[in-house]
Structure 1
Amino acid sequence: MIEESLHKIQQRMADAMASVGRTDTALLVAVTKNHPVTAVEEVARLGCTHVGENRVQEAKEKQMLYTGPKLVWHLIGHLQVNKVRQAVPKFDLIHSVDSKKLLDEIEKVAAKHDKVQDILLQVNVAREASKSGMSVEDFPDIRDYAKTLPHVRVKGLMCMAPFFENPEDARPIFRVAHALYEDMKGYFPDGDIQYLSMGMTHDFEIALQEGANIVRVGTAIFGERVYN
């Protein structure tokens, strides 16, 4: 089931990009939250080596059990300041950085590990009270602050659209995020800003049409989540 679902998602991604004339590539992050480590091993076996987790503790447990090919681990859920100490050693890319306080803690912990931590800045374009992310107004200040930290490397931007019955309604939000992403490139060293992470199971095709190059898909690959 996972193999068939994964291939369908990859084909839909290719079709969405072709529909707007895109010839570049986009990265599929398989979101394994609330799925067992066997699901991680299965997608890795199928060649999908980018895995996303929402919670630090769940990722740590899976990493201890995982025995397959080397993976790139993405933290896509909200990161609390008190979890940074655990997150930095475990994740290759943290998508959900949204404050100077969080940046300061990541800088401190990464320095202790002699690591430069790759991050994305999460912007709450839709101004949803229930979602994390900085406001569009706060973005320039936090962006410029992040640039000053030697153990933090900003790689791009993350955006999460509200759930719309019609995914087409997310298009204006993705369009704003893409404009912010393109503008970011002028503030960082050439080549640093590489990733625009937006689009999930219900809206990833719209996100790809609007310039996303990372999509985060779980349910469409693994089925409904298993809650313990």
Structure 2
Amino acid sequence: MLSDNLHEVQENIRKACERSGRNPEDVTLIAVSKTKPVSDIEQIYAAGIREFGENKVQEMNDKQKVLPGDINWHMIGHLQRNKVKYIVDNVAMIHSVDSVRLAEEISKEAVKKNVAVDILVEVNVAKEESKFGLYTEDVGQFVEQISKLPGINIKGLMTSAPFVDNPEDNRQYFKKLKDLSVDINAKNIDNVHMDFLSMGMTNDYVVAVEEGATHVRVGTAIFGHRDYNI
């Protein structure tokens, strides 16, 4: 059952917190439900999860229409500017802000709809060519630049580490993101709060929690493998 998978992930997070002297309540588990049917989400919802992550705007909107209103939806995939208007007033957080133009679009639509949107800055810590996100050395200036935009709250950083056989290989990247958040926080920039670190997925979320993740994005370990050909 999916609930058994969920409980195993929750227990792994609890143990990782124990090892690193953290409170498990400080770690938010986002169940990544992309490509998964509503019936699967309902099972995880029934087990107590209220945070769900989606990669595509249309899929998120379709699921929102039929699922309970108390779900907090997280946009974790690459967000195109022309899709921003469909989610700014019904998303808990946008994890993948990686350009000034995207931040400006989110700001514009947020002001238009009279909402404030929580965002994370996506960082390509490992400098993978296949991934979106800013390089670590560019994040400070980027954050200062977009911090002046109305209608957005900069809440922290996000990264997607490389897919590796040994999760320990990614510890360096999680540590680097944590250090970067501390450095940015020390600048005391208005409207910038490095409260959240969204890092760690099915393959490496335990290591991410040990290194300070506040949000882990776990899909396969909860829902099983995806069939992208559906």
Amino acid at match of 2:3: E
The CA RMSD over aligned residues, in Å, is 1.5
Verify: 1:155 aligned to 2:147, yes or no: no
Percent identical across equivalent pairs?
43
Deviations 1:190-228, CA, capped at 9 Å, x for gaps: 994321000000000010111101000000001011331
Give, in angstroms, the shift of residue 52 of structure 1. Answer: 0.3
Q: Paired residue for 1:175?
A: 175
Q: Is 2:6 aligned against 1:6?
A: yes
Which amino acid is the alignment partner of residue 10 of structure 2?
Q
Using the TM superposition, name which of 68-77 and 30-39 deviates more.
Answer: 68-77
Alignment partner of 1:168: what SS? Answer: helix
1:93 and 1:153 mapped to 2: Cα distance? 10
TM-score by length of 1: 0.95
* Corresponding position of 1:129: 129
Question: CA separation in 2, counterparts of 1:105 and 1:189?
Answer: 20
Partners of 1:208 and 1:14 lie apart in 2 by 9
Question: What is the rounded CA distance, in whole Å, between the counterparts of 1:156 and 1:98 in structure 2?
Answer: 12
> Which residue pairs with 1:116 in the alignment?
116
Q: CA deviation at 1:137?
A: 2.1
Shift of 1:23: 2.8
Query: Aligned equivalents of 1:69 and 1:4: distance in 2?
Result: 25
Distance in 2 between residues matched to 1:156 and 1:87, nearest whole Å: 19
Q: Distance in 1 between matches of 2:182 and 2:48?
A: 30
Q: Which amino acid aligns with 1:175?
A: K
Instruction: Give 1:67-216 correspondences, 5 Å limit.
Output: 68=68, 70-186=70-186, 187-188=188-189, 192-216=193-217
Give the Cα–Cα distance (whole angstroms) in 1 for the partners of residues 27 and 190 of structure 2.
Answer: 22
**What code does the residue aligned with 1:41 have?**
E
Q: Does residue 1:61 correspond to 2:62, yes or no?
A: yes
**Alpha-carbon separation, structure 1, partners of 2:69 and 2:61:** 16
Q: Which runs of no fewer than 5 residues in structure 2 stay unpaired?
A: none
1:35 is matched with which residue?
36
**What code does the residue aligned with 1:124 have?**
N
Change (3 A) 1:162 1:69: same
- Unpaired segments ≥5 residues, structure 1: none
Alignment-mate amino acid for residue 13 of structure 1: I
Query: Contact 1:45/1:69 (CA < 8 Å) preserved in 2?
Result: no
Q: For 1:190 and 1:85, locate their aligned partners in 2 and report how far apart those are by CA, in whole Å.
A: 22
Q: For residues 119-142 of structure 1, what are the alpha-carbon distances to aligned partners after superposition, in whole Å with 9 as ceiling and x for unaligned?
A: 000110100110010111221111
Aligned residues: 227
**Corresponding residue for 2:18?**
18
